[in-house]
Amino acid sequence: MKFEEFMYTRPDIQEVGKQMDELAEKLAAADNREDFLKVFFEIEKLESYVATMSTLSRVRHSINTNDEFYRRENDFWDERMPELEVYTNRVEKILADCPFKEELYDVIPEVYFRLIECSLKSFDEKIVPLLQQENRLASEYGRLKASAQIEFRGQTYNLSTISPFRESLDEETRKEASQASLKFYSDNEAEFDRIYDEMVKVRTEIAHQLGYETFTQLAYQRMYRIDYTPEMVANYRRQILEDLVPVANRLYERQAARLGKDTVAYYNEPMNFLDGNPTPKGTYDELIEAARKMYHEMSPQTGEFIDMMIENELWDLKSRDGKEMGGYCTSIPDYKVPFIFANFNGTSGDVDVLTHEAGHAFQYYCSRNIPVMNAQWPTMESAEIHSMSMEFNAWPWMNLFFKEDEQKYKFLHLSGAVTFLPYGVLVDHFQHEVYDHPEYTPRQRKQCWRELEKMYLPFKDYSDADLLERGGWWYRQGHIFESPFYYIDYTLAQVCALQFWARNQRHDPESWKDYLHLCSLGGTLSFTKLVKEAGLIVPFEDGCIKSIISEVSEYLDSVDDMKLQKA
C-alpha cells in the first residue's frame, strides 16, 4: 500500500475523549495482570489511530504548506492535541499508580513507567491554552521560513533551492547567494524576534504554572531525560570546549588554506574545496537505485527495509515551493511503517539526509513489532544514534553516490562531524542561557548567542554581515524554535556514532551486530543503558571526548586534503 493511499479522516475528538475516559475507568478497576493488559492494549489501539491521523496530517501539510485542506487540518491538530493530552494524562496517572506494575515489566518495559513519571510532571489540564499557543507559534515559524521567496539573478528560490549557489565554484556567486538568503532573515528579523520572544514567555509561563522555577527544568522532563542532568550536560559541554574545539579550529584553518584564504568568511563556509564540494553523481532515480543496491549489500534486514520504502513510496525527498524546510523521519503506527521527509538540492547533504533519516526509519522497522507503541521509538538522544551511525555504516558504498569524489566526501563528512559538535553544544548552551534569563530582550539574546559563538566557534568571520555579527545566525536553526533543548541530543549521538565509525575502521566484527541489536531494542531502555548495550562509552564520562577525538584526528591528519582538490 503506497503512502498516498493511506486514508486520512479527522477524528471526532469528543468521541475519542469519551472512549478514553471509559477505558481509563476500566483500567483503574482492573485488579489483575490479565485484565489490566487487555484494557491497556485497547487504549494503545485508540492512541495508535489518533497518532496515525495526526501524523498523516502533519506530513501532508509539511509536503505542501499551500494545501488549504491540510493547512486547516494542521491548525486543527495544533488546537486539539493539547486537549487530547488531558485524557492521556488521566491514563498515565492510573498506570503510574498501578500496584502490580512490576508484574508487567515483561510486556511493558520498566522504562515506560519512568517516562510516564516525566510526562506527568510536564502536564496539567490548566496549561492546555498555553500549549495551544506554543503550537501555533511553532507552526507560524515553519510557515515563515517556507514562505521565503529569494530573488537571485533574475530567478526566485526558497531557502533550500538556493543552497547549491552557496557552494558555487565562483566566490562572488557564493557571496551573492549567501547575502540573498541572509536578506530574507534580515527582512524578517522583527518577525523572528517576535515569534521567539512569545515562545520564551509562553514556555516560561507553562513552567511556572507547573511549579518549576525555569522552563529548563520542565524541558528536561519533556525530553524524558531520566538518567542525566543539566550538570552532567554542562560537564559534557566543557569537555567539548577543552578537548574538541582546538581540533575543530585546526580543521577550519585547513579549510582556509585549501581556499587560499586567511580566514573562512561566512559565505565561504559551505565551500570546502577550491574545485568544488563533492556532489552526488547521477539523477534522482539513479541515487535511489544506488541506495537500494547499498542497503541490499549491507545486510538482509536493510535490503528488506529499502524495498519496503521504495515500493510503498514512504518518502518525499525533492525540494519544491511551498514545502517545509529540513528533513525528518516519523512513523505511521497503524500501518507500522516509517516515513522520510527531506529536501534534496543537489549537494552532498542529499546523501547525508538520505542515510541519516534512513537510520531512523530502519530503527523503527527493526522495532515496529514491540507491542507497546511508545516503546518502539527511544528518547531523542538515543534515536539520533541510529541515524548518525547509519551515515558511517554507509561509508563502504559512497563510491556509488560520489564516484571520483568518494575520498573527498569521506574527509568532508568526518571533519564535518567534528566541527558540528562545538556548534551543537553552542545551541544547547544558548538555550540554557535564554530560559534561565527569560527577561532577555531580543537584542540581549543575540548578544548572548554571539558571545557563546566566540567561545565555541572562534573562527567565525562575519565581515559585511550585520545580522550575523550582531548574533542572528540562530534564526535558521529550527530546533531552537520548534524543539527546545533537542539539539544537544544530536551531539551526544554523534559521539556515539563516531565510536561506531572507529570500530568500523578497525574492522570490528561485532560493530554491525551491536548496531542491529541497538535498533531492535527501540525504546525499551534509557539512553545510557542503550549506549552500554551497544558496547559504547557513555558521552558524559570524563575522558570520553578525548579518547574519541584522538582516533578521528589521526585519520584526518593522515589525509592530504590539498591533494583532494585539483590544482
Buried b / exposed e over 262-275, threshold 16 CB at 10 Å, is eebbbbbbbbbbee
Instruction: Report pLDDT digits (tens) over 524-547.
Output: 999 999 999 999 999 999 999 999
Contacts of 101 (CB under 8 A, 6+ apart): 95, 108, 113
How far CA 388 is from CA of 159, 245, 382, in Å, comes to 24, 20, 10
Residue 116 is predicted with a pLDDT of 94
Residues counted in the chain: 567
The three cell numbers locating residue 198: 512569545
Q: First-to-last CA distance in the chain?
A: 51
Examine residue 152 and state whether it is found in any structural domain, yes or no: no
C-alpha span between 201 and 521 (Å, rounded): 38
The three cell numbers locating residue 424: 551543537
Q: Is 377 within 8 Å of 486 (Cβ atoms)?
A: no
CA dihedral 486, 389, 555, 508 (to 10 degrees): 140
Q: Count of CB atoms within 10 A of residue 498's CB?
A: 24
C-alpha span between 371 and 178 (Å, rounded): 48
Rounded to the nearest 5°, which phi and psi values hold at 337? -135, 155
C-alpha span between 451 and 337 (Å, rounded): 44
Write out the residue range of the structural domain in which residue 58 sits: 3-133
Residue 93 is predicted with a pLDDT of 94
C-alpha span between 439 and 416 (Å, rounded): 35
Examine residue 373 and state whether it is found in any structural domain, yes or no: no
C-alpha span between 447 and 444 (Å, rounded): 5
Q: Count of CB atoms within 10 A of residue 467's CB?
A: 18
If the chain, 567 residues long, is cut into consecutive pieces of 10 residues, what is the mean pLDDT of each piece? Answer: 96 95 96 96 97 97 95 94 90 94 95 94 94 95 93 94 90 96 97 98 98 97 94 96 96 96 95 91 94 98 98 95 90 97 90 94 97 94 95 97 95 96 97 98 98 96 95 96 94 97 96 98 97 97 94 95 86
Nearest to 332, CA basis, from 561, 56, 70: 56
Residue 567 is predicted with a pLDDT of 60
Question: If you write DSSP's letter for every residue of 85-144 in order, what string do you get?
Answer: HHHHHHHHHHHHT-TTGGGGTTTS-HHHHHHHHHHHHT--GGGHHHHHHHHHHHHHHHHH
C-alpha span between 228 and 226 (Å, rounded): 6
Please state the three-class secondary structure of 180-209 as a single string.
HHHHHHHHCHHHHHHHHHHHHHHHHHHHHH
Please name the residue that has the C-alpha cell 516503546. 375
C-alpha span between 150 and 153 (Å, rounded): 10
The DSSP letter of residue 440 is -
How far CA 354 is from CA of 84, 167, 183, 295, in Å, comes to 33, 20, 29, 12
Buried b / exposed e over 320-357, threshold 16 CB at 10 Å, is ebebbbbbebbbbbbbebbbbbbbbbebbbbbbbbbbb
Examine residue 82 and state whether it is found in any structural domain, yes or no: yes
Residue 529 is predicted with a pLDDT of 97
C-alpha span between 13 and 128 (Å, rounded): 15
Q: Is 86 within 8 Å of 498 (Cβ atoms)?
A: no
Q: Beta strand pairing status for 150-152 and 155-157?
A: antiparallel
The pTM of the full predicted model, rounded to 2 decimals, is 0.90
Q: Beta strand pairing status for 337-344 and 315-318?
A: parallel
How far CA 173 is from CA of 47, 149, 160, 274, 344, in Å, comes to 50, 18, 16, 14, 20
Q: Count of CB atoms within 10 A of residue 378's CB?
A: 25
Nearest to 388, CA basis, from 365, 423, 420: 420
Residue 369 is predicted with a pLDDT of 95
Q: Beta strand pairing status for 155-157 and 328-332?
A: unpaired
Examine residue 109 and state whether it is found in any structural domain, yes or no: yes
Examine residue 96 and state whether it is found in any structural domain, yes or no: yes
Beta bridge partners of 331: 338
Examine residue 393 and state whether it is found in any structural domain, yes or no: no
Q: What's the total number of domains in the chain?
A: 1
Q: Is 293 within 8 Å of 400 (Cβ atoms)?
A: yes
Examine residue 36 and state whether it is found in any structural domain, yes or no: yes
**Which H or E run contains 156?**
strand 155-157
Examine residue 296 and state whether it is found in any structural domain, yes or no: no
